[in-house]
Structure 1
Amino acid sequence: MTGIALRHEEKLQPPPGHPLLGFRSAISPHVAELEGHILGWAERYAVLDNARARDKLARTRLGELVARAYPTILPARLEAVAGWFTWAFVIDDCYEHDAGHYDEPAAQTLRVLVRDLKPDATHTRLDALLADVWHRLAAGMSTAWRLRFTQHMAHFLAAFKYEAFNRQVRHVPDLLGYQQLRRASGGITPSLDLLEVATEQEVPGLLHEFEQARVMFNRASDVVVWVNDIVSLRKELAAGETTNGVLVLAEKHHVELPEAIDLAYALVTRQIEEFEQATSELETLMSRWRGLEPENVDAVRTFTDGLRSWMRGNLDWSGNSDRYQNADGVLLSTDSSLISPSTPSLSEPH
């Protein structure tokens, strides 16, 4: 494997003129409210390790990510969407600690969604948080949306197992396999589903499955996770992470990390080009699709704008968030009992 040294002065942002910088940068005016909701959810369900973890969550500026990814989010949807991101970032850190249990905890979490469990019917505090959030998110959404979101959550939960295996054996996956795993492991697919919750404009189930819409969805997902791999590189190198796209490209092309970063941004350029091509094709298709109601067209266009906001908002937030700027090793939670009640707690919540 090629060397993995990365000098501090090396740039992790896209080069001037990159198409990602051509997307409009926007942010919701509700940033402070979102930050308050995120800390509120974490405290209500006691899912953080201690005061240091709470400080880490505050410095992560997760509310800013939500505000940038969903700049037109409705006030009535702020608390629910903030709650899902609190859950997602905590569970991600729990599994980064290598909890060692994957299949049954994943099935247990999915039962929260499938059975519409109430918080007091769940097994862990983290599942209770998700149950509370789920009832708020799913309110008013169709069965088709609920099934799609649940499927994407299943992919997200399953990916933790494979990432942990890669860490344990110090394996850098090949590019083909990595592209499939990363889209799931980043939690971006359910995050994009929340675009419809945030605006209360749901894309009809059939349209969402059009080939062009699927390409748009997948390419936007890929842009977010590949950019995340670049901007989080220092943090992940410090943590011993091996499931990172920059490392995958370095291994595949036998280059050092600066060249691999350039290759990653070139890949993002191609992903954006494919996104825009699919967007154009979908507009043409909708103009010729008989019986399509104006509100459905508006929902698709709002969703498309949201995909662009996610791609650009993720980049803008990454430059401000302590999660990537400070590789201090502090996790939001290392408490295995948040994932599986059969495992001992490694730390007491405060």
Structure 2
Amino acid sequence: MSSPDFPVTVPELATLPPPGHPILALPVRISPHAARLERSILEWADSYRLLETARQRERLAGTHLGELVARTYPFVREDRLDTLVGWFTWAFVIDDWYDGPAGAALGDHRDMVARVLAALPVDGRAGGRRSGALFRQLARVWTGLAQPQSLPWRLRFVDSMAAFMESFAYEAANRRAATTPGVASYAQLRRQSGGITPCLHLLEYAAGLEVPGVIRRSDPFQRMFNCAADVVVWVNDVVSLRKELAIGEVSNGVLALAAERSCGLPEAVTAAYGRVADLIGEFHCAEAELTELCADWRGLTDRDQRAVRLYVDGMKYWMRGNLDWSRHSERYRQADRLRLATSPTLLTSD
């Protein structure tokens, strides 16, 4: 369907959930390493010269990525802080690289996806020297992430990264056609394009504990994972709406709902938060089922049970922490066209 025609600036639009919304009942916890996390974000960017201008560096600082990590991984081990924020620095820069109609030309995007995956060998070994600062940074981050993790974890993470990278081509196709996708198809794409699935896999890395495969593959756990991912990306669509209208983005859940329901933006925001409330309700139902499953499943050790509890808590921290962070981040408070990454040398040579 064609993209609905809305004004670029909608300062009067309320983008926060209404009082009593179930997302506000989710737990809040912040890592004591928040200040260190903020510093590390800028250190990664400076070390690999990812930013070209002082304004871009100011924009990255104002994004408060360290706060996002502190809110969504409050139990992160101190020895894993640096690698964790390295991935977030990379993810936000690459996301901006493709952001909006002014984003990077896709060209042979399959080659780009292949080059990203080549920096993530599933055996966890470091690759050779790579051309382009973003590829070199990702390879270094991957060395730190992969080394302590199991092969199944690495396979899941690499697959989620493939989905993240592949989604950019589909979003670009929507922009070229000036078309907002239908809600059903958009919901499937958004779970991948939001980069939330690798973020949720990183909960295990941050905790230093992996959920047993028998639990991870269970129906309740999978439902919780998908619900948490969808809550994060749909809330992000609401809070980023002003910015995305400013840059001409058409792949946004609020716009999809407005087009499908033939309603205005305020009504579409209300509908989006209604969808989020339903997802959180489904998450809690699946959580009750998972609790029964874990109690009845013999063979789970105390360490296994702790890994499950931390992961479940982590999904809740992500749902709530993403909302709280977005209220402070200039990434969404300022509706401008400035992107963190524009230089072709980030992907070729420098």
Tell me the TM-score normalised to structure 2 length. 0.95
Q: In structure 2, what is the Cα distance between the partners aligned to 1:225 and 1:129? A: 25
Task: Say whether the 8 Å CA contact 1:216–1:275 is kept in structure 2.
Answer: yes
**RMSD of aligned C-alpha atoms?**
1.4
Q: In structure 2, what is the Cα distance between the partners aligned to 1:290 and 1:104? A: 46
Task: Say whether the 8 Å CA contact 2:28–2:320 is kept in structure 1.
Answer: yes
Q: In structure 1, what is the Cα distance between the partners aligned to 2:38 and 2:128? A: 26
Task: Say whether the 8 Å CA contact 1:119–1:129 is kept in structure 2.
Answer: no
Q: In structure 2, what is the Cα distance between the partners aligned to 1:117 and 1:338? A: 23
Task: Say whether the 8 Å CA contact 2:10–2:242 is kept in structure 1.
Answer: no
Stretches (4+) displaced over 4 A: none
Is 2:22 aligned against 1:19? Answer: yes
The one-letter amino acid paired with 2:111 is E
Alignment match, 1:326: 334
Task: Say whether the 8 Å CA contact 2:160–2:198 is kept in structure 1.
Answer: yes
The one-letter amino acid paired with 1:4 is F
Alignment match, 2:312: 304
Alignment match, 1:293: 301
- SS across alignment from 2:29: coil
Q: Could you list the per-position Cα deviations for residues 47-105 of structure 1 after superposition, in whole angstroms to 9, with x for gaps in the alignment?
A: 11211111100000000000001111111111010000000000001112133231101
Q: Could you list the per-position Cα deviations for residues 120-160 of structure 1 after superposition, in whole angstroms to 9, with x for gaps in the alignment?
A: 52222101001111111122111010000011000000001
Alignment match, 1:230: 238
Task: Say whether the 8 Å CA contact 1:202–1:299 is kept in structure 2.
Answer: yes
Alignment match, 1:283: 291
User: Any gaps of 5 or more consecutive residues in structure 1?
Assistant: none
* Alignment match of 2:89 (pick from 86, 91, 94): 86
**Deviation of residue 107 (structure 1)?**
0.7
Is 2:68 aligned against 1:65? Answer: yes
Alignment match, 2:135: 127
Task: Say whether the 8 Å CA contact 1:98–1:164 is kept in structure 2.
Answer: no
Q: In structure 2, what is the Cα distance between the partners aligned to 1:69 and 1:212? A: 21
Q: In structure 1, what is the Cα distance between the partners aligned to 2:247 and 2:74? A: 32
Task: Say whether the 8 Å CA contact 2:119–2:139 is kept in structure 1.
Answer: yes
Alignment match, 2:215: 207
Alignment match, 1:50: 53
Alignment match, 2:11: 8
- SS across alignment from 2:14: coil
Q: In structure 2, what is the Cα distance between the partners aligned to 1:198 and 1:117? A: 20
- SS across alignment from 2:160: helix
Q: In structure 1, what is the Cα distance between the partners aligned to 2:302 and 2:338? A: 49
User: Any gaps of 5 or more consecutive residues in structure 2?
Assistant: none
The one-letter amino acid paired with 1:292 is L
- SS across alignment from 2:105: coil
- SS across alignment from 1:121: coil
Task: Say whether the 8 Å CA contact 1:56–1:332 is kept in structure 2.
Answer: yes
Alignment match, 1:146: 154
Task: Say whether the 8 Å CA contact 1:119–1:128 is kept in structure 2.
Answer: no
The one-letter amino acid paired with 1:35 is E
Is 2:254 aligned against 1:252? Answer: no
The one-letter amino acid paired with 2:211 is V
Task: Say whether the 8 Å CA contact 1:250–1:256 is kept in structure 2.
Answer: yes
Q: Could you list the per-position Cα deviations for residues 286-331 of structure 1 after superposition, in whole angstroms to 9, with x for gaps in the alignment?
A: 1111212121111111100000000000000000000000112111
Tell me the TM-score normalised to structure 1 length. 0.95
Alignment match, 1:336: 344
Q: Could you list the per-position Cα deviations for residues 158-190 of structure 1 after superposition, in whole angstroms to 9, with x for gaps in the alignment?
A: 001111111111110011110110000000000
